[in-house]
Amino acid sequence: MSKHSAIKVQNLVKNFGKDDSLVQVIENASFEIQKGEVVALIAPSGAGKTTLLMMIGCVLEPTSGEIWLGKNMVYQDKWIAKDTRRIRREKIGFIFQAHYLIPFLNVLENITLLPQANKVSEADAKKKAMELLEYFEIADKAYNMSSQLSGGQNQRVAIARALANNPEIILADEPTAALDGERAVSVIKMLKKIAREQNVAIITVTHDERILPYCDRIMKIENRGIVFHEIDEDEVL
């Protein structure tokens, strides 16, 4: 495992059911994602994209195999990590198709909620949140409710929330599906900028071909395993 590796998966297997109802979704998947990379995860519906993402995110337990996050092995045929919730809180940022902002909290409160739950002081959490909102050029919306924002602005807030704990890894599940072409490209460019500037590894599940040229690699689930396709920088529109 290289010193620049953020995610390493070895011989990962995920089955659902047993005996006659056994369904194997992922079979002996092995791959490595480096810090600063944006990787698109693509496959037909039902092929296991979200399942794979949730296993990497320590949400769903695999059947067997190994998962390393940074220098730490977190899974080896069972959870090695004693507290997977802590790993999710401290190492991983999640972004989804829907922004899932809490409707009765304003933008600033949505972003500071998790850091404060992790014992970050209110002052430090707010300072970090405002820095993120400045970064995403929506600092003027800090005290707005999500209902007062556009879809693109809400997704920016969701990304800011995912970054609030300085994660090493961002896992995004269809983050541009609800956005039009211009906003979708804006979001993936933003994620690529984050990956480069903050040395964060990003995996984004997507069906959106518009964003593929902006990723570093394409990771496909084929025959329940993983294959990669490199992206040429000259392909970017």
Domain residue spans of the chain: 40-59+82-235
d(CA 205, CA 41): 5
Q: What is the pLDDT of residue 237?
A: 41
CATH number given to 40-59+82-235: 3.40.50.300
d(CA 113, CA 235): 39
H-helix or E-strand spanning residue 193: helix 181-198
Joined together, the tokens standing for residue 21 give 């109802």
Strands 64-69 and 5-16: antiparallel
Q: What is the pLDDT of residue 99?
A: 84
Q: What is the pLDDT of residue 232?
A: 60
8-state DSSP, 173: E
pTM score: 0.87
d(CA 2, CA 25): 28
Q: What is the pLDDT of residue 231?
A: 66
For 66, 86, 113, 168, the CA distances from 194, given in Å and listed in that order, are 27, 23, 21, 11
Tell me: the pLDDT tens digits for 115-145? 998 889 999 999 999 999 998 889 999 999 9
Residue stretches of the chain with pLDDT short of 50: 235-237
Q: What is the pLDDT of residue 156?
A: 87
Q: 169, 141 in Cβ contact below 8 A?
A: no
